[in-house]
């Protein structure tokens, strides 16, 4: 999922169960491909997020290291980590 406004681009990967490799893929492959495919957004601020029903502690640590926003279901709500 991609969200765009006048100065920011958010790339949000969605998974049922998140794994550490999903973080690495988002930072390397997904972001880099986006920059190549959509050069008109090169001057925008890029934000990365991973949304999932299940996020283990290793994924949380990897996301924090890579400055990635995590979105996780908590009951009927979405919790931002």
Q: Quick: pLDDT tens for 29-47.
A: 999 999 999 999 999 999 9
Average pLDDT (54-69) is 93
Which two tokens mark 78?
A: 């979405």
Residues 33 and 38: their CA atoms lie apart, in Å, by 8
| Position 15 confidence tier, pLDDT thresholds 50, 70, 90 | very high
25/13 Cα distance (integer angstroms) = 10
CA distance 17 to 12: 14
pTM for this prediction: 0.85
């Amino acid at each position: 999922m991609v969200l765009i406004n006048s100065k920011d681009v958010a790339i949000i990967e969605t998974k049922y169960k998140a794994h550490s490799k999903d973080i690495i893929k988002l930072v390397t492959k997904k972001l880099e491909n986006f920059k190549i495919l959509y050069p008109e957004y090169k001057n925008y601020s890029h934000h990365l997020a991973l949304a999932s029903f299940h996020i283990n502690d290793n994924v949380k640590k990897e996301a924090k290291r890579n400055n990635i926003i995590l979105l996780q279901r908590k009951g009927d709500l979405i919790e931002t980590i």
